Structure 1
Amino acid sequence: MSIPLSSSPITRDKVRHDFRARPVTVAAVSRITTNMIRVTFQGPDLLDFASFGPHDHLKLVVPDDTGTAPEPRIIDGRLERPFDGILRDYTPRFYSTAIRPPELMIDFFDHDDPGPATAWARRARPGQMTWILGPRGSALVPNGAEELLLFADETALPSIARWIEMSPGLDITAHVIARDGDRAYLDYLPGAADPSLAADPEAPGAPAIVWHEDPASLLAAARAITTVAPTTFVWAGGEAGLLAELRRHLRTITERPQLSIVGYWRAGEANYDHHAPLPD
């Protein structure tokens, strides 16, 4: 069934940023949930750091086993290749250019079988130096949206938190996989208070957080949604295989301006490129 492209009023503004490499130093490392590690970076080059979108991403140069991080070179807005270092994409969780030195926080989901970035976060210590690149741009909270419908696994929790923080006044429902049942996640997402459904029905715009133990539960919940309003924006982030299945259904109930899906990782693939098309 075809849907007229003009029936949804939703649009998204985008902001371009100066893409460059910034040296940063680890200032603090903390485990904020059983499976989430927060690394706080500082550095004077963060003074003009900017990230205005809920699912912006920057590139982190992952230090090697000796703690060394090679310097990336940016020429005409692009990373010079070949580059010997390991790069991984992350959503900036918090940043402040008002304090000195400026700070940036990145949250790492601690997988059971960690890749190089998570393995580094486990052993990171204050004083270690590395580099960040970007963000290259920001996709802002959609114009014309009155409701947000979000889907995510644990790796996309930082983006879900930013969606909630950046969308005051919008009705938000977020379906989130939390396989370990860690109740600390309830404090991680603004407004969450109960592991099954957390929302204050008396507070307009309070987020409803629906927790799922596994991908099958999240998919079942999504497929139970058979219609959305033209003013509903749908966003999903997480494992690429799960998102491919999710996309098949979401495309039947949304128009193109209403839907954004971002693959953060792919099971069995060490160097997944989140820009790569989702599997069919």
Structure 2
Amino acid sequence: MSVADMTAAQAAKAPPARGKKRPPMLLEVIRREVITEHMIRIVLGGEALEGFPAHRGGGHIKVFLPLEHQRAPVLPQLTEAGVVWPAAEEKPITRTYSVRHFDVERRELSVDFVAHGDEGPASRWALAARPGDLIGISGPGGPDPLLPPADWSLIAGDMTALPAIGALLEAMGEEARGVVFIEVESPTERQTLHHPQGVEVHWLYRGDIPSCLSTLQIDAVRAMDFPESGSVSAWVGGENSAVLSLREHLMGVRGLKKSQLYAVPYWRHCWNEERYHQERHRIMDELK
């Protein structure tokens, strides 16, 4: 079967029934947009996006990348017995990303990739991506909504969390109030984010300090005043050490309960996705 036939066959699959998981989708690159020096937006399209949920910005998705000898990744299959993966020599490279935006009318899914050269397979793929390239996607997952409803909200994260943060801000109502801390390396990584007037957005610049040694986010949260009345919620994401520090402070010092907080460590310094996979799930299970 040719790549074109394979794409058509996968795209022809009907959307899953309500309450059922969506099977992995083979999608096509529509365009590539450079957002900042180290952030690339890949816009994906395909008939398989029919029925993709409209209001899951920031939701977790799995990205399946082709191997060097492939034009299209061989996707895992969702069966009654569970997920069936292809043989090791055909198994796609798998990474976790966030939905930046889904345009229902145009049926286009935007995913932002942090570009750090050829150091990682996802960055390498995004830097070279061209219209017509093929990639696999499954999801979205994570709680719905990602940010628990409240009178006032705290959002904090690093550059890997920036796509989800941007989506969360766009989903907020105009009456929303809160504070956002975004840690990046330098002002060149600053993006224009749309947010309600009652939400303050603060950019924190790390400079040459490694992510795992930076305390910018936790220092900023410790120094701020929380509202004295009304309900509070929080969403934090990014490097493992920063997320754990924020979670400990928010629950142990500020008194937030599990239902008020969603904390997701996306990565850990010097650990690749495969090595960190089980550790991430252990951390997430502690909040359930």
Q: Matches of 2:247 and 2:96 in 1, distance apart? A: 22
Q: Does the aligned pair in 2 maintain the 1:172–1:205 contact within 8 Å?
A: no
Q: Does the aligned pair in 2 maintain the 1:148–1:232 contact within 8 Å?
A: yes
Matched, 1:44 2:73: no
Between structures 1 and 2, the one with greater helix share: 2
Q: Matches of 2:244 and 2:257 in 1, distance apart? A: 17
In the other structure, the counterpart of 2:209 is none
Q: Matches of 2:222 and 2:117 in 1, distance apart? A: 29
Q: Does the aligned pair in 2 maintain the 1:19–1:136 contact within 8 Å?
A: no
Q: Does the aligned pair in 2 maintain the 1:177–1:211 contact within 8 Å?
A: yes
In the other structure, the counterpart of 2:238 is 238
Q: Does the aligned pair in 2 maintain the 1:16–1:137 contact within 8 Å?
A: no
Matched, 1:256 2:258: yes
Which stretch of the first structure deviates more once superposed, 70-79 or 32-41? 70-79
Residue from 279, 283, 286 that aligns with 1:277: 283
Q: Any idea what SS the aligned residue of 1:250 has?
A: helix
Q: Which amino acid counterpart does residue 158 of structure 2 have in structure 1? A: D
In the other structure, the counterpart of 1:75 is 79
Q: Any idea what SS the aligned residue of 2:271 has?
A: coil
Q: With the length of structure 1 as denominator, give the TM-score of the two structures.
A: 0.80
In the other structure, the counterpart of 1:105 is 110
TM superposition shift of 1:76: 2.6
CA separation of 1:85 and 1:144: change in aligned 2, threshold 3 A: closer
Q: Matches of 1:144 and 1:135 in 2, distance apart? A: 20
TM superposition shift of 1:81: 3.6
Matched, 1:210 2:214: no
Query: After the TM superposition, which residues 125-274 of structure 1 pair with which residues of structure 2 at under 5 Å, given as runs?
Result: 125-136=130-141, 138-140=143-145, 144-168=149-173, 169-182=175-188, 185-187=190-192, 189-191=193-195, 205-214=197-206, 215-225=214-224, 227-228=226-227, 229=229, 231-252=231-252, 253=254, 254-271=256-273, 272-273=276-277, 274=280
Q: Which amino acid counterpart does residue 71 of structure 1 have in structure 2? A: L
In the other structure, the counterpart of 2:210 is none
CA separation of 1:122 and 1:142: change in aligned 2, threshold 3 A: closer
TM superposition shift of 1:77: 7.9
Q: Does the aligned pair in 2 maintain the 1:176–1:210 contact within 8 Å?
A: yes
Q: Does the aligned pair in 2 maintain the 1:247–1:261 contact within 8 Å?
A: yes
TM superposition shift of 1:248: 1.7
In the other structure, the counterpart of 2:10 is none
State the number of aligned residues: 250
Q: Any idea what SS the aligned residue of 2:100 has?
A: strand
Whose relative contact order is higher, 1 or 2, with alpha carbons under 8 Å and at least 6 apart? Answer: 1
CA RMSD of aligned residues (A): 2.6
Q: Any idea what SS the aligned residue of 2:105 has?
A: coil
In the other structure, the counterpart of 1:10 is none
CA separation of 1:90 and 1:249: change in aligned 2, threshold 3 A: same
Residue from 86, 95, 99 that aligns with 1:88: 95
Where does structure 2 lack aligned partners over 5 or more consecutive residues?
Answer: 1-17, 207-213
Q: Any idea what SS the aligned residue of 1:277 has?
A: helix
Q: Which amino acid counterpart does residue 216 of structure 1 have in structure 2? A: T
Query: After the TM superposition, which residues 114-133 of structure 1 pair with which residues of structure 2 at under 5 Å, given as runs?
Result: 114-133=119-138
TM superposition shift of 1:114: 3.2
Deviations 1:234-277 (A, max 9, x none): 11000112211222211121222211100111111111324341
Where does structure 1 lack aligned partners over 5 or more consecutive residues?
Answer: 1-14, 192-203
Q: Any idea what SS the aligned residue of 1:28 has?
A: strand
TM superposition shift of 1:117: 1.0
Q: Matches of 1:230 and 1:256 in 2, distance apart? A: 17
TM superposition shift of 1:87: 1.1
Q: Does the aligned pair in 1 maintain the 2:75–2:86 contact within 8 Å?
A: no
